[in-house]
Amino acid sequence: MLSGRRLDLLDPSPMDIEIEDIAHGLARVARWNGQTVGEHAFSVAQHSVVVEDIMAHIEPSLEPRWRLAGLLHDASEYVIGDMISPFKAALGFDYRQFEERLEGAIHLRFGLPAKVPVAVKKLIKAADRASAWFEATQLAGFTGAEADGFFGRPPPGYHLHIEPQAPFPAQERYVARFHVLSEAAGYEAAPRAAFETE
């Protein structure tokens, strides 16, 4: 990682995870494999900020820690990239296990439980699909009807105009949002010493 950290992908340790590395990577990973209109790709970093915002729209009383989980929902992609769902399914269970192990380490690093509650997972998924609807219709050439068929309609009353950002502003926005949510949740990134063994 640019921070100097070395992350073992097969056995990820929370002490080797830094939010700056995550933001840097996600701001340079393109949604839709880059098959979108515009000068810049729509990054996973931008998508993650949108997902967290949609979650708050659907569930206004949502606790900051679960909004933080929404922001981090694709954080593992900072090292493994954004693979489309059919390809993930083709790779099978081992890939999912690998992804879940990395996600668990990321959550522990930033004060969240390794696995979030099922209700929160469902909310993240609903917000993820809503973001995908806007991305599909504004950036990826889908008609509204096509996007409805794949993702369902976005939540009533939520409107989004997407302007894909260059990597650096997307990275900065992601980090800033992380700090706002971490502070609101009463979390600070756990010190590395907390993960070190005797």
Q: What is the pLDDT of residues 52-105, one digit of tens each?
A: 999 999 999 999 999 999 999 999 999 987 666 666 666 665 767 888 899 999
Percent of the chain with pLDDT over 90: 76
List the domain range (segments joined by +) for residue 30. 14-191
Would the pLDDT of 13 be above 50?
yes
Residue that wins the pLDDT comparison between 193 and 167: 167
Which are the contacts of 133, defined by CB distance < 8 A and separation ≥ 6?
147, 148, 151, 152, 153, 154
Would the pLDDT of 193 be above 50?
no
Would the pLDDT of 196 be above 60?
no
Return the residue matching tokens 């009383």: 61
Among the listed residues 3, 45, 8, 19, the one whose alpha carbon sits nearest the alpha carbon of residue 189? 19
| pLDDT of amino acid 10 | 83
Residue 112 lies in a domain: yes
| pLDDT of amino acid 134 | 98
Would the pLDDT of 198 be above 80?
no
Q: How far is CA 189 from CA 4, 35, 106, 108, 193, in A?
A: 18, 35, 10, 9, 11
| pLDDT of amino acid 88 | 60
Residue 100 lies in a domain: yes
The pTM for the full model equals: 0.90
Residue 6 lies in a domain: no
Which are the contacts of 191, defined by CB distance < 8 A and separation ≥ 6?
none
Read off φ and ψ for residue 25, nearest 5 degrees: -65, -50
| pLDDT of amino acid 197 | 44
Interval 155-167 mean pLDDT: 97
| CATH number of residue 117's parent domain | 1.10.3210.10
Residue that wins the pLDDT comparison between 69 and 4: 69
Residue 52 lies in a domain: yes
How many other CB atoms sit within 10 Å of the CB of residue 30?
A: 17
Contacts 24+ apart (CB under 8 A), 101-106: 101/11, 101/12, 102/9, 102/12, 102/76, 103/72, 103/75, 103/76, 105/12, 105/13, 105/14, 105/17, 106/12, 106/14, 106/17, 106/22, 106/72, 106/75, 106/76
Q: What is the pLDDT of residues 93-151, one digit of tens each?
A: 576 788 889 999 999 999 999 999 999 999 999 999 999 999 999 999 999 999 999 99
Residue 9 lies in a domain: no
Token reading at 139: 């950036």
Residue 76 lies in a domain: yes
Residue 1 lies in a domain: no
State the total domains in the chain. Answer: 1
Q: What's the rounded Cα separation, in Å, for the pair 21 and 37?
A: 27
Helix axes 44-58, 167-185, angle to 10 degrees: 40
* CA geometry: angle 126, 132, 135, nearest 5 deg: 150
Q: What's the rounded Cα separation, in Å, for the pair 169 and 46?
A: 9
Residue 7 lies in a domain: no
Read off φ and ψ for residue 119, nearest 5 degrees: -60, -35
Residue type at 25 in one-letter notation: G
